[in-house]
Structure 1
Amino acid sequence: MSNLNYRVYPAQMETQSFGRLRVDCTTDVGFRPISNATVEIASTGNPGNVIETITTNEIGRTGEIELPAPPIEYSLEPVIEQPYSEYNIRVTAPGFAPVEVNAAQILPDVTSDQPVSMAPSEVSGSELFVVLPHTLYYEYPPKIAEDEIKSEFETGEIVLERVVVPEFVVVHDGPPSDPSATNHYVRYRDYIKNVASSEIYATWPEATIYANVLAIMSFTLNRVYTEWYRNQGYNFTITSSTAFDHKWMNGRNIYDNIGVIVDSIFNNYLSRPNVRQPILTQYCDGKNVQCPGWMTIL
């Protein structure tokens, strides 16, 4: 535990909560590890004060860095206090363009993995990612209700003959009708991990995380199976808009325990008896948004 006295007094050490951060650096093409990359970490509230500097090892990974975080109780019950702390991460490596991630979210008692993809400096300039507030802490547009089982009349021709777990999904980073929003090709498992890290807290009981991950996967596979957006003339699988789909945040950190759960059940989904397609499992937080008949996550 190093450099902790920058914001924690000795008398507070016994009661201060901590979360853990690990950074993984790879090339943007080929996903090869980048060793000896320099990682600088600063509190988002004081970005000019670097509190930790560490380098990646031969597999492109740093050790786990312990960072102050709010009490775990803040993320277990609805409270007005922000339940996570925020840190800025800057990564540099010889021959590669710098990458900065602002407002990475650190929860207490869990390890967070920050993936960083770096492009050669001769083909790219520096890149900045800003992690948006968590959906349980910030009020995003509520989900527009839809039928949980789609008919052929609604979707047009259903292209897939059976439910297939895709390797990639195309995420439209905005509402469906926004032509300026970027489309991102994202590995299916990584998409689920990102959404779960954005919509639930990794400090929750394991069974609760399992249930929510299963709901996220079922919703996503319904979009895949019914070709919901492509049948409307769009060229993507799903959006990052909470009014239509789930919140996906480009470049955000992923919690290790959520990642393990996703990897263990990634080819599962919820369905109805005698209905082949996955259920479009809609839910709300049950606090800021009321949704009778849906799942609630608080």
Structure 2
Amino acid sequence: MRKSGIHVLQAEKTDRGALKINVESALRTVPVENATVDISYTGEPDQILEEVRTDQNGNTGTLELKAPPLEYSMQPGETQPYSEYTIKVSAEGYEPVTISGSEVMSGELSLQNIRLRPLEQGRPPEVTAIPPHTLYGNYPPKIAEAEIKPVNQSGEIVLRRVVIPEYVVVHDGSPRDTTAGDYYVRYKDYIKNVASSEIYSTWPKETIIANVLAIMSFTLNRVYTEWYRNKGFDFTITSSTAFDHKWIYGRNIFESISETVDEIFENYLSRPNVKQPILTQYCDGSRVTCPQWMSQWGSKALGDQGYSAIEILRYYYGDSMYINQAEQVAGIPASWPGYVLALGSTGDAVLQIQEQLNAISNNYPLIPRVAVDGIYGPATAEAVRIFQGIFGLTQDGIVGKRTWYKIQEIYVGVTRIAELNP
């Protein structure tokens, strides 16, 4: 039986992790400055450990907090390998928000995004309780399905090509649970949420990549085959582990997982002569075994042995599995040009980044406006560096793939708001 009780776990917090909180408006893509953020252990919400305020970018800065020993997350066990913190946020003109169960792991940076709703008379404060991680809590095992779906049935709706969607619609429950809500979630945010809910960020990088690829391929199979819409539902995927993956509303994500998703989000898993992404199913490999699928704990052991991500995947799914790339990424002005932009770069890609940074600076005024001349000079590099600092990226002043797509994401957010509020 698993240990329970906050006091027992607090006594075992001998390591340190980090937590960074971002607060923004729920109605507009703008940061909320000077919000009060109180942090306590979950279970002891009145004993405040930290009280901080957000800066003009809506960030708290990085807070160092206690976490259980690293080894707790390195093998299956009965002891919870992460600390749980309660975060209370309040700001003038907004409704307060409380999130309990935000996870902090040894040596890892946890990112908690909080969106505040404007005050509305009679509406209760928002309170979100994050349930246990799937490797620690008890969840229904996956119901087995065929990894390749038939697509030649009469009336079958199937996309003509593999496209990375801008959003997925997540049904927060089992498919026929009519009381469950539906949430529009950015595709990358969905993958980051699921991966942070289903694997530990402390695991080897290649293990994280293998698991993220499996999650993405499964999700894109649901998108490509319009699996639930063909059954009369109005959503893309569910949050039920029996049917899909565990997505948790309001949960934190981990920087190491976020970085991996940003690096490979255009990819999925294929087999020769099969157009659709493969429905890559898996189990934890400890409480539940699945000889035909990937074992999460087993993938961790292979990562420890130096296996690459594709070697891990082929170990479980066979040698015919390979990594493919989607033909299109929806909802962005332009795809990654395939090369970094740095001092001395010129051309249309630089011009586009300059225009987008200027638009973003309307909402994030710390980012200096730059000349839109298609020349990547010191001023553009400095604007990029400040953008990277605001959004938690490496501050090198260079537009690599991760920075490129983050600029696209934020640009779309701020310009859509502008379209709605001329």
TM-score tier after normalising by the smaller chain length: over 0.9
Aligned residue pairs: how many? 288
Counterpart of 1:190, as a letter, is D
Would you tell me which structure has more strand in proportion to its own residues? 1
- Cα–Cα, structure 1 residues 62 and 243, in superposed 2: closer, same or farther, change >3 Å? same
8 Å contact kept, 1:150–1:226: yes
- Determine if the alignment matches structure 1 residue 206 to structure 2 residue 201: no
In structure 2, the residue matched to 1:288 is 287
Shift of 1:46: 1.4
Shift of 1:8: 8.7
The share of aligned pairs that are identical, in percent, is: 57
CA–CA separation in structure 1 for the residues paired with 2:43 and 2:96: 21
8 Å contact kept, 2:140–2:241: yes
CA–CA separation in structure 1 for the residues paired with 2:154 and 2:56: 48
CA–CA separation in structure 2 for the residues paired with 1:271 and 1:154: 21
CA–CA separation in structure 1 for the residues paired with 2:268 and 2:114: 30
CA–CA separation in structure 2 for the residues paired with 1:262 and 1:29: 26
Counterpart of 1:257, as a letter, is S
CA–CA separation in structure 2 for the residues paired with 1:280 and 1:155: 22
- Cα–Cα, structure 1 residues 143 and 154, in superposed 2: closer, same or farther, change >3 Å? farther
Shift of 1:172: 0.1
- Determine if the alignment matches structure 1 residue 272 to structure 2 residue 271: yes
In structure 2, the residue matched to 1:34 is 32
Unmatched runs of 5 consecutive residues or more in structure 2: 1-8, 298-422
Shift of 1:57: 0.6
CA–CA separation in structure 2 for the residues paired with 1:155 and 1:187: 31
Q: 1:30 is paired with a residue of what secondary structure?
A: coil
Shift of 1:139: 1.6
Q: After the TM superposition, which of the residue ranges 27-36 and 169-178 deviates more from structure 2? A: 27-36
Shift of 1:29: 1.6
Among 62, 87, 91, the residue aligned to 1:93: 91
- Cα–Cα, structure 1 residues 149 and 70, in superposed 2: closer, same or farther, change >3 Å? same
CA–CA separation in structure 2 for the residues paired with 1:119 and 1:76: 39
Q: After the TM superposition, which of the residue ranges 38-47 and 147-156 deviates more from structure 2? A: 147-156
- Cα–Cα, structure 1 residues 206 and 154, in superposed 2: closer, same or farther, change >3 Å? farther
8 Å contact kept, 1:192–1:213: yes
Shift of 1:157: 1.6
- Cα–Cα, structure 1 residues 155 and 172, in superposed 2: closer, same or farther, change >3 Å? farther
Counterpart of 2:265, as a letter, is F
- Determine if the alignment matches structure 1 residue 141 to structure 2 residue 143: no
In structure 2, the residue matched to 1:25 is 23
CA–CA separation in structure 1 for the residues paired with 2:267 and 2:232: 28
TM-score (norm 1): 0.93
CA–CA separation in structure 2 for the residues paired with 1:220 and 1:35: 35
- Cα–Cα, structure 1 residues 155 and 234, in superposed 2: closer, same or farther, change >3 Å? farther
CA–CA separation in structure 2 for the residues paired with 1:81 and 1:132: 16
CA–CA separation in structure 1 for the residues paired with 2:171 and 2:89: 26
Unmatched runs of 5 consecutive residues or more in structure 1: 1-6
Counterpart of 2:109, as a letter, is T
Matches within 5 A, 1:82-231: 82-122=80-120, 124-152=123-151, 157-231=156-230
Would you tell me which structure has more helix in proportion to its own residues? 2
Shift of 1:220: 0.2
- Determine if the alignment matches structure 1 residue 263 to structure 2 residue 262: yes
Which gives a bigger RCO, structure 1 or 2 (Cα 8 Å, sep 6+)?
Answer: 1
Q: 2:38 is paired with a residue of what secondary structure?
A: strand
CA–CA separation in structure 2 for the residues paired with 1:162 and 1:108: 41
CA–CA separation in structure 2 for the residues paired with 1:249 and 1:288: 21
8 Å contact kept, 1:139–1:288: no
CA–CA separation in structure 1 for the residues paired with 2:204 and 2:173: 31
CA distances 1:185-226 after superposition (whole Å, capped 9, x unpaired): 000000000000000000001111011001000000000000
Counterpart of 1:68, as a letter, is K
8 Å contact kept, 1:25–1:56: yes
Q: 2:111 is paired with a residue of what secondary structure?
A: strand
Q: 2:215 is paired with a residue of what secondary structure?
A: helix
Shift of 1:27: 0.6
Counterpart of 2:208, as a letter, is I
